[in-house]
């Protein structure tokens, strides 16, 4: 009995020690920030003292970043550590990394909601070279009176298509169009896709006659509803009804969103979605199996259309993937939505904004800013960004040879030059995006496999939005 | 010597105690503390009292059944797996202690699934399930019952071998004299099983049911990899529900933490009750 009591005493003693240690560490961190502030005044211009720790958002660019880090170390001696979060794990990784004492100095914020969540951690980039080089200031995130994030690339998405297949199809009797250029509206696209789907064998014969290796099995690449693909529809395609609704509502910032949505353009969504499902070889009842790979269907020339973004360019043309399609045969068209087809360009925006950790030491912040500036001004950096990562950078330093090689991005630019209007990334406004999308996808899945109806999709869209918006507001009001 | 021990015991306890405190006690109490806070990172918190706990059930002034659903779903899952795993493991253990040929090979084969990690295992099973379900135009996440039985199969497949080994050890521990005596008294094999083997195995049953029970409640890997909580969070077991709350909803880290505290209390209480129940039936050797 006595031993027990002693044991309990030991326990509480151990706890007390732990708490003391806790206090101690916070006190020391307070002094260290004070000394850092002092040091910064004396050594504001000194370089090479800080460390850079970047938490990279895009898994596919990891290798390029690692190489850049090495080059930078060689050139300047500054240590750059790049960690890439696994696909879909960015929020988790960021949260745990930020809690460490050696927290990331550069991290990614996706949108205004993230800027709000990480408001205590975002350094004001207003005076940075990075921001000065940003050619379109709309591509920065302004929050709480500061420039919280600067876009490091912008992306365009739409419907990727195979020009060569459409050309062969155009030679058939009574083909709806002769070439892809004639597809300029949802009406035409629908007719073409339906027709191709109905005449797969004829198209394949024609392809063989034309000496092409492509053999199609479907018009549209599978519309997978598993977690690895459903964002194409709960995010990218959902953007269309959101964008047009926000535009009608006269919103000043079309990516900021509003508390409630009516889903007035959901019928158009349904029309497009039904086309994706109807004109595809995938079984509508098992779209969520996770066994579908739309990229390889399109890459191997089995599908003609594939809704995705310009980031797919490197995957589709990378020799290692062994895809059949060549960069000459592929191009991208807007997601025609039956609202304002003739003026519509691609959907252009980004979820990639560099933010600098304001809680890092002054030295580390300066080192991080210099590193980012180096990336967008040096030859190595610019080359890596445009060629290795295949990104379209929004900085005025990317001229001449450093302009994008990505044909999708070129098309995006061309459409804008032709006076068409880009579709903003209104889906960036989605409140509690993971939760909202999960509900929307499950309703969409039920509708598609026949176990649910379209009304449930509408409810998930409108009620889900209002609900999550309120929650998100609440969460930010408390902090 | 005795005296010195009594005087300096704390010195000997200290290293272990420190490790235990750092690795368990401090995080545990810190976690409970955080469940009353709003926080983004664990070092950056703000006290908000019981708000996190009310949000578990009431969202936007309406009853939110996500947590309750995953609570009963998990309970049912645990019940089913505890029964199947223990019955099957016990049955196989009985067979493999009868001295049939190739006993060792069979034991190894049954134990092997346990050596593969939960995530890998589930991805492999995912392909198997979907290949079969494709024939009736369904997938593992078509509805919550597909997901339920899918997880039951994977977990049983994985854990039966492990529990079997414990049962085998228990059965081999029963003195041959007891069984021989029972046989001399004229007991048939059913009577031996009922009146000798099972009573003597009570401690083993306690251990196995405890392990399967807590494993069932805490299941995470297989859930994440096999169903990911789909469709619409309907197949979320408690652990995944907590994880999803923590990372899926902006600013809800505290709510996730509050759920975790409730989860802990629940598992602790159930495990204690189960332990008491089965232990009380144990017999002295």
| Secondary structure class of A270 (helix, strand, coil) | helix
- Predicted pLDDT at B284: 61
Residue A34 has pLDDT above 50, yes or no: no
**Residue B132 contacts A where some CB pair is shorter than 8 Å:** no
Cβ contact A286–B59 (<8 Å): no
What is the Cα–Cα distance from A448 to A436, expressed in whole angstroms? 18
Cβ <8 Å between B251 and A442: no
Q: By the CB < 8 Å criterion, does A445 face chain B?
A: yes
Q: What is the mean pLDDT of chain A?
A: 85
Do the Cβ atoms of A11 and B29 come within 8 Å? no
Tell me how close the Cα of B277 comes to any Cα of chain A, in angstroms: 25
User: How many alpha carbons fall within 13 Å on the CB side of residue B277?
Assistant: 9
3-class DSSP state of B220: coil
Neighbours of B56 (CB within 10 A): 18
Instruction: Answer yes or no: is pLDDT of B70 > 70.
Output: yes
Closest CA to A290 of B248, B227, B118: B227
Distances (CA, A) of A217 to A442, A448, B175: 27, 20, 68
Mean pLDDT for the stretch of residues A87-97: 85
Among A92, A289, A438, select the one facing B130 at the smallest CB separation. A289
Question: By the 8 A CB rule, do A404 and A392 touch?
Answer: yes
0.80 surpassed by pTM: no
Cβ of A286 under 8 Å from any chain B Cβ? yes
- pLDDT value of position A479: 52
Give the pLDDT band of residue B43 (cuts 50, 70, 90): confident
Give the Cα separation of A398 and A386 in Å (integer).
9
Task: Give the separation between CA A105 and CA A393, rounded to whole angstroms.
Answer: 21
B128 to chain A, any CB pair closer than 8 A? The answer is: no
In this prediction, what percent of chain A has a pLDDT beyond 70?
89
Residues in chain A with CB shorter than 8 Å from the CB of B139 are 286, 288-290
pLDDT score for A359: 93
Mean pLDDT of A163-174: 93
- Whether A438 sits inside 8 A of B232 (CB atoms) is yes
Verify whether the Cβ–Cβ distance B21 to A18 is below 8 Å: yes
Proportion of chain B in helix, strand, coil states, percent, rounded to 5: 75, 5, 20
pLDDT at B246: 86
Confidence bin at B1 (pLDDT 50/70/90): low
Q: Is the pLDDT of residue A46 over 90?
A: no
> Is the pLDDT at A70 greater than 90, yes or no?
yes
Helix, strand or coil for residue A230?
Answer: coil
At residue A157, the pLDDT reads 94
Average pLDDT over residues A461-475: 88
B42 part of contact set with chain A, CB < 8 Å: yes
Residue B285 has pLDDT above 60, yes or no: no
A131: Cα within 13 Å, side-chain hemisphere: 17
Spell out the domains of chain B, with CATH numbers in brackets: 76-279 (1.10.3720.10)
CB contact under 8 A, A286 and B38: no
> What is the CB-side half-sphere exposure of residue B30 using CA atoms within 13 A?
18
Q: Of A285, A467, A479, which is closest to B60 when you measure between CB atoms?
A: A467
82-111 of A, contacting B, C-beta below 8 A = 91-92, 95, 98-99
The whole-angstrom separation of Cα A467 and Cα A464 is: 5
**Cβ(A109)–Cβ(A122) under 8 Å?**
yes
SS (H, E, C) A89-121: CHHHHHHHHHCCCCCCCEEEECCHHHHHHCHHH
pLDDT in tens, B141-180: 888 899 999 999 999 999 999 999 999 999 998 888 988 9
Residue A12: predicted pLDDT: 47
> At A411, which helix (H) or strand (E)?
helix A407-417
More confidently predicted of B122 and A186: A186
- Does A187 reach chain B within 8 Å, measured CB to CB? no
More confident residue, B104 or A8: B104
Residues B41, A290: C-beta atoms closer than 8 Å: no
CA distance A230 to A292: 11
* A386-421 residue pLDDT tens: 888 878 888 888 888 888 878 998 898 888 888 888
Q: CA-to-CA distance for A67 and B211, rounded, in angstroms?
A: 47
In order of their start, the domains of chain A are: 43-153+350-398 (3.40.190.10), 156-349+422-478 (3.40.190.10)
Tell me the C-alpha distance between B48 and A406, whole Å: 50
Average pLDDT over residues A418-435: 87
> Is residue B250 predicted with pLDDT exceeding 80?
no
Kindly report whether the peptide bond that precedes residue B231 is cis, defined as omega within 30 degrees of 0. Answer: yes
pLDDT of residue B217: 92
- The answer on pLDDT for A150 being more than 70 is yes
Instruction: With CB atoms and an 8 Å threshold, state whether B42 touches A442.
Output: no
Q: What is the mean pLDDT of residues B52-80?
A: 89
> What pLDDT band is residue A114 in, cutting at 50, 70 and 90?
confident
Over residues B174-195, the pLDDT tens digits come to 888 988 999 999 889 899 998 8
Beta strands A344-349 and A421-424 are parallel
Q: What is the arithmetic mean of pLDDT over B200-226?
A: 91
Smallest Cα–Cα separation from A156: which of A396, A345, A420, A364?
A345
Name the residue with higher pLDDT: B44 or A458. Answer: A458
CA distance B216 to chain A (A): 25
Output B251 or A363, whichever has higher pLDDT: A363
Query: pLDDT-based confidence at A54, cuts 50/70/90?
Result: very high
Note the pLDDT of residue A18.
41
Q: State how far the Cα of A447 lies from the Cα of B68, in Å rounded to an integer.
A: 26
Residue B77, Cα to own-chain centre: how many angstroms? Answer: 10
Write out the E strands in A127-280: 140-143, 146-151, 155-162, 218-220
Closest residue in B to A93 (Cα) is B247
Restricting to B residues 3-22, those with a Cβ less than 8 Å away from any Cβ of A are: 9-10, 13, 17-18, 20-22
Mean pLDDT of B222-228: 90
Per residue in A272-308, pLDDT (tens digit) is: 999 999 999 999 988 988 888 999 999 999 999 999 9
Whether the CB-CB separation of A161 and A174 falls below 8 Å is answered with no
> A15 vs B26: CB contact, 8 Å cut-off?
yes
* Torsion of Cα atoms, A137 then A143 then A147 then A153, to 10°: -50
Polymer length in residues for chain A: 479
pLDDT digits (tens, 9 = 90+) for B264-275: 999 899 889 988
Q: Is residue A14 predicted with pLDDT exceeding 50?
A: no
């Amino acid at each position: 009995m006595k031993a027990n009591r002693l044991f309990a005493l030991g326990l509480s003693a151990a706890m007390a020690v732990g708490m003391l240690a806790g206090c101690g560490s916070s006190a020391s961190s307070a002094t260290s920030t004070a000394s850092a502030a002092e040091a910064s005044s004396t050594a504001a211009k000194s370089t090479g003292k800080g460390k850079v720790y970047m938490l990279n958002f895009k898994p596919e660019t990891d290798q390029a970043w690692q190489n850049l880090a090495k080059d930078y170390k060689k050139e300047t001696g500054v240590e750059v550590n790049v960690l890439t979060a696994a696909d879909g794990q960015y929020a988790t990784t960021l949260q745990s990394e930020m809690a460490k004492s050696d927290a990331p100095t550069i991290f990614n914020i996706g949108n205004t909601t993230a800027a709000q969540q990480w408001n205590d951690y975002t350094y004001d980039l207003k005076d940075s070279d990075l921001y000065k080089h940003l050619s379109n200031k709309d591509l920065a995130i302004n929050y709480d009176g500061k420039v919280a994030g600067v876009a490091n690339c912008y992306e365009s998405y739409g419907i990727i298509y195979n020009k060569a297949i459409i050309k062969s199809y155009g030679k058939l009797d009574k083909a709806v169009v002769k070439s892809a250029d004639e597809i300029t509206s949802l009406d035409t696209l629908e007719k073409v896709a339906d027709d191709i789907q109905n005449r797969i064998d004829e198209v394949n014969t024609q392809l063989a006659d034309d000496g092409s290796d492509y053999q199609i099995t479907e018009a549209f690449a599978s519309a997978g509803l598993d977690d690895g693909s459903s964002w194409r529809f709960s995010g990218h395609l959902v953007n269309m009804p959101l964008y047009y609704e926000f535009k009608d509502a006269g919103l000043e910032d079309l990516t900021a969103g509003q508390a409630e949505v009516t889903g007035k353009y959901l019928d158009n969504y349904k029309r497009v979605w039904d086309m994706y499902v109807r004109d595809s070889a995938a079984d509508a009842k098992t779209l969520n199996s996770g066994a579908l790979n739309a990229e390889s269907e399109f890459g191997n020339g089995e599908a003609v259309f594939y809704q995705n973004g310009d980031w797919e360019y490197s995957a589709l043309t990378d020799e290692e993937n062994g895809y059949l399609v060549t960069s000459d045969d592929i191009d991208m068209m807007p997601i025609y939505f039956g609202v304002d087809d003739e003026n519509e360009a691609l959907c252009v925006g980004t979820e990639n904004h560099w933010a600098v950790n304001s809680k890092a030491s002054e030295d580390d912040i300066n080192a991080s800013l210099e590193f980012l500036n180096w990336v967008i001004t040096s030859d190595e950096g610019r080359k890596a960004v445009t060629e290795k990562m295949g990104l379209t950078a929004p900085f005025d330093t990317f001229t001449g040879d450093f302009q994008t090689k990505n044909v999708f991005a070129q098309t995006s630019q061309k459409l804008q030059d032709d006076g068409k209007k880009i579709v903003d990334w209104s889906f960036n406004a989605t409140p509690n995006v993971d939760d909202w999308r999960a509900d929307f996808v499950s309703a969409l899945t039920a509708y598609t496999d026949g176990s649910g109806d379209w009304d449930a999709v509408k409810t998930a869209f409108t009620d889900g939005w209002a609900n999550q918006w309120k929650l998100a507001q609440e969460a930010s009001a408390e902090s | 010597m005795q005296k010195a021990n009594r005087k300096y015991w704390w010195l000997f306890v200290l290293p272990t105690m420190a490790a235990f405190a750092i690795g368990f006690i401090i995080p545990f109490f810190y976690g409970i503390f955080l469940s009353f806070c709003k926080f983004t990172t664990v070092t950056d918190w703000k006290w908000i009292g019981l708000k996190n706990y009310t949000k578990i059930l009431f969202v936007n002034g309406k009853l939110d059944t996500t947590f309750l659903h995953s609570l009963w779903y998990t309970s049912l899952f645990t019940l089913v797996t505890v029964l199947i795993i223990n019955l099957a493991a016990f049955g196989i253990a009985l067979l493999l202690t009868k001295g049939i040929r190739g006993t060792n090979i069979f034991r190894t084969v049954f134990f092997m699934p346990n050596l593969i990690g939960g995530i890998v295992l589930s991805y492999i099973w995912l392909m198997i399930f979907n290949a079969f379900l494709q024939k009736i135009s369904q997938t593992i996440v078509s509805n919550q019952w597909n997901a339920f039985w899918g997880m039951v199969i994977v977990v049983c497949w994985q854990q039966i071998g492990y529990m079997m080994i414990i049962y085998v050890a228990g059965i081999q521990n029963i003195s041959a004299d007891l069984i021989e005596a029972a046989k001399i008294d004229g007991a048939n094999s059913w009577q031996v099983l009922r009146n000798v083997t099972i009573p003597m195995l009570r401690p083993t049953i306690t251990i196995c049911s405890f392990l399967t029970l807590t494993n069932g409640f805490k299941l995470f890997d297989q859930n994440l990899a096999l169903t990911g909580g789909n469709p619409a969070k309907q197949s979320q077991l408690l652990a995944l529900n907590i994880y999803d709350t923590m990372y899926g909803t902006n600013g809800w880290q505290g709510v996730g933490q509050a759920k975790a505290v409730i989860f802990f209390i629940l598992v602790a209480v159930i495990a204690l009750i189960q332990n008491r129940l089965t232990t009380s039936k144990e017999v002295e050797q």
